Amino acid sequence: MNKKDLKIIFMGTPEFAVGTLRRLVENGYNVVAVVTQPDKPVGRHQDHLQPSEVKRYALQQGIPVLQPVKMKDPAFVEQLAAYHADLQVVVAFRMLPEVVWAMPRFGTFNVHAALLPQYRGAAPINWAIINGETMTGVTTFFLDKDIDTGRIILQKKFPIPDDADVEYVYDGLMHLGADIAEETINLVLEGNGHVDSTDQQQLTASDGELHPAPKIFKDTCKINWSLTAKQVYDFVRGLSPYPCAWTTMQPTNGEAGKANTYKIFKTSKTGISCSEKPGTVSVRKNQLLIACSNEWLSIEELQPAGKKRMTATAFLNGIHCELTCI
Q: What is the pLDDT of residues 46-78, one digit of tens each?
A: 778 899 999 999 999 999 999 999 999 999 999
Q: What is the pLDDT of residue 324?
A: 77
- Report if residue 124 sits inside a domain: yes
Please compute Rg for the chain using Cα positions. 23
Residue 317: beta bridge partners? none
Q: Which of 207, 242, 277 is the last residue of a domain?
A: 207
- Model confidence at 258, pLDDT cuts 50, 70, 90, reads confident
pLDDT over 90 (residue 174):
yes
A 10 A CB-CB count for 247 gives 23
Lowest mean pLDDT among 156-165, 176-185, 195-204, 316-325: 316-325
What are the phi and psi torsion angles at 46 (to 5°)?
55, 35
Does residue 236 sit in the same domain as residue 196?
no
Average pLDDT over residues 80-101: 97
Share of the chain above pLDDT 70, in %: 96
Average pLDDT over residues 195-223: 88
Average pLDDT over residues 256-260: 70
- Model confidence at 185, pLDDT cuts 50, 70, 90, reads very high
Strands 7-12 and 30-35: parallel
pLDDT over 80 (residue 252):
no
Does residue 16 sit in the same domain as residue 157?
yes
Domain limits at 158?
7-207
- Report if residue 69 sits inside a domain: yes
Does residue 311 sit in the same domain as residue 244?
yes
pLDDT over 70 (residue 172):
yes
- Report if residue 2 sits inside a domain: no
**Distance of alpha carbon 15 from alpha carbon 52, whole angstroms:** 8
pLDDT over 90 (residue 222):
yes
**Distance of alpha carbon 193 from alpha carbon 222, whole angstroms:** 47
**Distance of alpha carbon 216 from alpha carbon 219, whole angstroms:** 8
- Report if residue 214 sits inside a domain: no
Q: What is the pLDDT of residue 251?
A: 79
Specify the long-range contacts of residues 222-228, CB closer than 8 Å, at least 24 apart.
Answer: 222/246, 222/247, 223/247, 223/264, 223/325, 225/278, 225/279, 225/290, 225/291, 225/292, 225/293, 225/325, 226/278, 226/279, 226/292, 226/293, 227/292, 227/293, 228/292, 228/293, 228/294, 228/295
Q: What is the pLDDT of residue 326?
A: 72
Average pLDDT over residues 149-177: 97
Q: What is the pLDDT of residue 257?
A: 55
* Distances, alpha carbon 4 to alpha carbons 20, 109, 174, 181, 276, in Å: 17, 19, 24, 16, 65
- Average pLDDT over the chain, rounded to an integer: 94
Number of domains in the chain: 2
Residue 247: give its domain's CATH number: 3.10.25.10
Q: Which of 207, 239, 261 is the last residue of a domain?
A: 207
Helices 53-60 and 15-26: crossing angle in degrees, nearest 10, is 20
Sign of CA dihedral 111, 116, 119, 125: negative
Q: What is the pLDDT of residue 47?
A: 73
Average pLDDT over residues 85-103: 97
Q: What is the pLDDT of residue 239?
A: 98
Residue 87: beta bridge partners? 8
Does residue 176 sit in the same domain as residue 34?
yes
Does residue 259 sit in the same domain as residue 299?
yes
Does residue 100 sit in the same domain as residue 236?
no
Q: What is the pLDDT of residue 256?
A: 52
- Report if residue 212 sits inside a domain: no
Average pLDDT over residues 99-123: 97
Are the C-beta atoms of residues 135 and 172 closer than 8 Å to each other?
A: no
pLDDT over 60 (residue 323):
yes
Does residue 193 sit in the same domain as residue 230?
no
**Distance of alpha carbon 47 from alpha carbon 33, whole angstroms:** 28
- Report if residue 270 sits inside a domain: yes
- Report if residue 194 sits inside a domain: yes
Share of the chain above pLDDT 90, in %: 85
Does residue 82 sit in the same domain as residue 127?
yes
The pTM assigned to this predicted structure is 0.93
Residue 137: give its domain's CATH number: 3.40.50.170
pLDDT over 60 (residue 299):
yes
**Distance of alpha carbon 136 from alpha carbon 152, whole angstroms:** 15
Q: What is the pLDDT of residue 264?
A: 98
Does residue 96 sit in the same domain as residue 226?
no
Average pLDDT over residues 71-100: 97
Average pLDDT over residues 196-219: 86
- Model confidence at 192, pLDDT cuts 50, 70, 90, reads very high
**Distance of alpha carbon 141 from alpha carbon 180, whole angstroms:** 11
Does residue 46 sit in the same domain as residue 140?
yes
Q: What is the pLDDT of residue 207?
A: 54
Does residue 185 sit in the same domain as residue 240?
no
Q: Which of 187, 207, 227 is the last residue of a domain?
A: 207
- Listed residue (270, 84, 92, 276) closest to 177, CA to CA: 92
Q: What is the pLDDT of residue 205?
A: 54
- Model confidence at 41, pLDDT cuts 50, 70, 90, reads confident
Instruction: Work out the burial of residue 20: count CB atoms within 10 Å of its CB; fewer than 13 is exposed, 13-18 middle, 19 or more buried.
Output: buried
Residue 25 one-letter amino acid: V
Does residue 13 sit in the same domain as residue 148?
yes
pLDDT over 70 (residue 15):
yes
- Report if residue 102 sits inside a domain: yes
pLDDT over 70 (residue 206):
no
